Structure 1
Amino acid sequence: MQLFTPPFAKLLSLAAVNFLRTPTRSVCALLLLALLALAAGLGMRAPNPPDEPRFALAAKTMVETGHWLIPQRGSEVYAEKPATFMWMQAAFYALTGDLDIAFLLPSLLAGLLTLWLVADLAGRIWRPRLAPWALAALFISLQFGLQAKRGQIDMSLTAMTTVALWGLLVHFLRGPNRAALMLAGFAAGLGTVTKGVGFLPLLMLVAYAGWRSYARRGHADPATGGGWGGAGWLIPAFVGGAMIWLAPVLLTTWWNDTPELRAYTQELLFRQTGTRYLNAWHHHRPAWYYLQVIFTLWLPGALLLPWLLPAWWRRLRRGDLRYWLLLGWALLVLLFFSASSGKREVYIFPALPALALAAAPLLPGLLRLRGVRWTLRIYIGVVSLLGGLLAVGGWVEAPAVLKLTERRALDAADLQRLLLGFALLSGSGLIALIASRGRRIGTSLFGFTVMVWISYGLLLGPALDASSSGKQLMAEVGERLPAEAELGIVDLKEQLLLQADRPVQDFGYRQPLAAQWVGAVEWLNHAPQRRWLLVRKADLPDCLSTARLQPLGRANRVEWSLLPGHELAPSCAATLRQAADAQPSSDRPPAADE
Structure 2
Amino acid sequence: MHFNPSRSSFAWPIPLLLALVVLSLLAGIGMREPMPADEPRFVLVAQTMVETGDWLFPRRGSELYAEKPATFMWMQAASQQLVGNWRIAFLLPSLLAALATLWLSGDLARRLWGRRAVPYAVFGLFVCLQFALQAKRAQIDMALVGLTTLSLWALLRYLLEKPDPRLLALGAFAAGLGTVTKGVGFLPLLVFLPWLWVRAKSAHALPPHRGWHALAGVAGFLLGAGVWLVPMLTAVLASDDPALHAYAREMLLRQTATRYANAWHHVQPAWYYLQSMLTLWLPGILLAPWLLPAWWRRLRRVDPRYALLLGWAALVLIFFSSTPGKREVYIFPILPALCIAAAPLLPALLRRRGVRAVLWGWIGTLALAGLALGAWLLLATPERLRPLVEGRGMDAAVAVAMGRWLLAFGLAALAAIVLALWRRRGQPATAVIVITALLWIVYGVGLIPAISPESSAQALMQRVGERIGPEAELAMLGWREQHRLQADRPVVDFGFKRPWDEQWPLARDWLQADPSRRWLFLRLEAVGPCMDATQVIDIGASNRRAWALLPGHAWIAGCDMPAGWAAEIEHE
Question: Normalising by structure 1, what TM-score?
Answer: 0.90
Between the aligned residues of both structures, percent identity stands at 50
Partners of 1:177 and 1:29 in 2: CA distance: 36
Q: Please give the secondary structure, in 1, of the residue aligned with 2:288.
A: helix
Q: Where do residues 310-389 of structure 1 align in structure 2 (5 Å cutoff)?
A: 310-389=293-372
Q: Which residue of 2 aligns with 1:551?
A: 538
Structure 2 Cα separation of the partners of residues 296 and 22 of structure 1: 25
- Shifted more, 44-53 versus 202-211: the winner is 202-211
Q: How far 1:424 moved relative to its partner? A: 2.3
Counterpart pick for 2:225 among 242, 256, 260: 242
Q: How does 1:168-187 map to 2 (within 5 A)?
A: 168-187=155-174
| Cα offset, 1:253, TM superposition | 1.9
- Matches for 1:393-412 after TM superposition, within 5 Å: 393-398=376-381, 399-411=383-395
Deviation at 1:211, TM superposition (A): 2.4
1:18 CA displacement: 5.6
Structure 1 residues 579, 555: CA separation in 2 closer, same or farther (over 3 Å shift)? closer
* Unaligned runs of at least 5 residues, structure 1: 1-14
Q: How does 1:128-277 map to 2 (within 5 A)?
A: 128-213=115-200, 215=201, 220-225=202-207, 227=209, 230-277=213-260
CA gap of 1:20–1:313, structure 2 versus 1, over 3 A, is closer
CA contact (8 A) 1:408 1:464 kept: no
8 A contact 1:535–1:560 mirrored in 2: yes
Match of 1:126 in 2: 113
- Partner of residue 48, structure 1: 35
Q: Which has the higher mean CA deviation after the structures are superposed, 355-364 or 430-439?
A: 430-439
Q: 1:350: how far off?
A: 0.7
Q: Secondary structure at the match of 1:533?
A: strand
Tell me, yes or no, if the aligned pair for 2:158 and 2:168 is still in contact at 8 Å: yes
Provide the rounded CA distance (Å) in 2 between the counterparts of 1:423 and 1:583: 45
Q: What is the CA–CA distance in structure 2 between the aligned matches of 1:18 and 1:144, rounded to whole Å?
A: 26
d(CA) in 1 for partners of 2:102 and 2:125? 7
CA offset digits 1:361-419 (Å, max 9, x no partner)? 11111111111111111111222222111211122124544432334332455333312
Q: Across the two proteins, how many residue pairs are aligned to each other?
A: 565
Matched with 2:408 is: 424
SS in 2 for 1:553: strand
Give 1:76-115 correspondences, 5 Å limit.
76-115=63-102
Cα contact 1:185–1:234 (8 A) shared by 2: yes
Q: 1:113, CA displacement in angstroms?
A: 0.2
Q: 1:407 to 1:384 in 2, by over 3 A?
A: farther
User: Contact 1:46–1:100 (CA<8 Å) still a contact in 2?
Assistant: yes
For residues 6 and 63 of structure 2, what CA distance do their matches in structure 1 show? Answer: 56
1:547 CA displacement:
4.9
Distance 1:19 1:450, change over 3 A: farther
1:334-371 deviation per Cα after TM superposition (whole angstroms, max 9, x unaligned): 11111111111111111110010111111111111111
Return the alpha-carbon distance in structure 2 between the equivalents of residues 336 and 516 of structure 1. Answer: 40
CA contact (8 A) 1:83 1:194 kept: yes
Say which is worse superposed, 406-415 or 199-208, in terms of deviation. 406-415
Q: Are the aligned partners of 2:378 and 2:399 in contact in 1 as well (CA < 8 Å)?
A: no
Which SS does the other structure have where 2:550 is aligned?
strand
Q: Per-residue deviation at 1:227?
A: 4.3
- AA of the residue aligned to 2:142: M
The CA distance in 1 between the partners of 2:461 and 2:369, in whole Å, is 33
- Could you tell which deviates more after superposition, 509-518 or 469-478? 509-518
Q: Is residue 492 of structure 1 aligned with residue 476 of structure 2?
A: no
1:232 Cα shift? 3.8
What secondary structure, in the 3-state scheme, does the structure 2 residue paired with 1:551 have? strand
Aligned positions of 1:456-535 closer than 5 A: 456-535=443-522
Quote the Cα distance in structure 2 between the aligned partners of 1:194 and 1:403.
38
Asked if 1:283 is matched to 2:270, the reply is no
Q: 1:433 is matched with which residue?
A: 417
Distance 1:226 1:406, change over 3 A: farther
Change (3 A) 1:172 1:532: same
CA deviation after TM superposition for structure 1 residue 221, in Å: 5.0
* Equivalent residue number for residue 293 of structure 1: 276
Q: TM-score, normalised by structure 2?
A: 0.93
Cα distance change of structure 1 residues 284 and 321 upon mapping to structure 2, 3 Å threshold: same
* Structure 2: gaps spanning 5 or more residues: none
Q: Is the 8 A contact 2:532 2:554 kept in 1?
A: no
What code does the residue aligned with 1:512 have? P
CA distance in 2, matches of 1:400, 1:205: 55
Once residues 17 and 57 of structure 1 are traced to their aligned partners in structure 2, the CA distance between those partners, rounded to angstroms, is 48
> Shift in Å at residue 556 of structure 1?
0.8
Q: Deviations over 1:302-340 (max 9, x none)?
A: 111111111111111111111111111111111111111
How many Å separate the matches in 1 of 2:282 and 2:8?
Answer: 27
Segment drifting more, 544-553 vs 519-528:
544-553
